[in-house]
């Protein structure tokens, strides 16, 4: 039913921006329904419709390529997203996650750090940076990140919060 609504919105779109919004939402819907090829086709059309949202569109295409197992192309798309919009936190997180899975750990850590510098209160950026530090055995650097993460959503338990609390409990004993 949602697919039909967005298709109707495309027919009724009065301008390029409305068409972009409908296509972008349709692409996101396809992606959530596990149809990355259809999602990517919608996002490709978005690139021609709206020059202001291109960074996020390239990021979304990268996610589709990742889901299709095309890591090299996903990497190119994330990099393109960051060239277009150097403040796109999701681009840093997605590229960092890809590089981490590829074993490019130092480079991924730098991207997670960059994301938290851009928005120190971004829960996912804090979570990924903290997890990165833990994976590197850098508990001293991870703890302040996780402590901050816990303060971001005190009334709203989220997976991020639980991961931070778990990490804080793993603090190694202090040497005296």
Is the pLDDT score of 16 beyond 80? no
Give the least confident one: 3-17, 52-66, 97-111, 141-155.
Answer: 3-17
Instruction: Please give the pLDDT value at position 175.
Output: 43
CA pair distance 36, 114, nearest whole angstrom: 28
**Who has greater pLDDT, 39 or 164?**
39
Backbone torsions φ then ψ of 13, nearest 5 degrees: -55, 125
User: Is the pTM for the entire model greater than 0.75?
Assistant: yes
Does 34 have pLDDT greater than 50? yes
- For 98-130, the pLDDT digits (tens) are 999 999 999 999 999 999 999 999 989 998 999
Neighbours of 37 (CB within 10 A): 10
125, 145 contact by CB (below 8 A): no
Distance CA 49, CA 63 (A): 20
Alpha helices in the chain (DSSP H): 2-12, 16-32, 36-49, 54-67, 71-84, 89-101, 105-118, 123-135, 139-152, 159-169
Neighbours of 148 (CB within 10 A): 17
Confidence band (pLDDT; 50, 70, 90) for 6?
confident
pLDDT at 42 over 90: no
> 75-84: per-residue pLDDT in tens?
999 999 999 9
How high is the pLDDT of residue 1?
77
Rounded distance between C-alpha atoms, residue 138 and residue 118, angstroms = 22
Give the pLDDT score at 21: 79
What is the pLDDT at residue 79?
97
């Amino acid at each position: 039913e949602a697919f039909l609504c967005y298709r109707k919105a495309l027919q009724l779109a009065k301008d390029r921006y409305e068409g972009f919004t409908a296509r972008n939402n349709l692409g996101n819907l396809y992606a959530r329904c596990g149809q990355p090829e259809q999602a990517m086709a919608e996002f490709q059309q978005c690139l021609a419709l709206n020059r202001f949202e291109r960074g996020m569109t390239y990021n979304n295409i990268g996610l589709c390529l990742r889901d299709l197992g095309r890591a090299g192309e996903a990497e190119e798309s994330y990099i393109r997203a960051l060239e277009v919009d150097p403040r796109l936190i999701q681009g840093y997180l997605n590229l960092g996650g890809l590089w981490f899975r590829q074993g490019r750990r130092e480079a991924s850590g730098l991207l997670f750090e960059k994301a938290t510098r851009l928005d120190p209160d971004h829960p996912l950026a804090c979570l990924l940076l903290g997890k990165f530090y833990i994976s590197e055995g850098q508990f001293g650097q991870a703890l302040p990140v996780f402590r901050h993460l816990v303060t971001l959503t005190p009334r709203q338990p989220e997976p991020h919060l639980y991961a931070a609390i778990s990490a804080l409990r793993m603090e190694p004993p202090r040497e005296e």
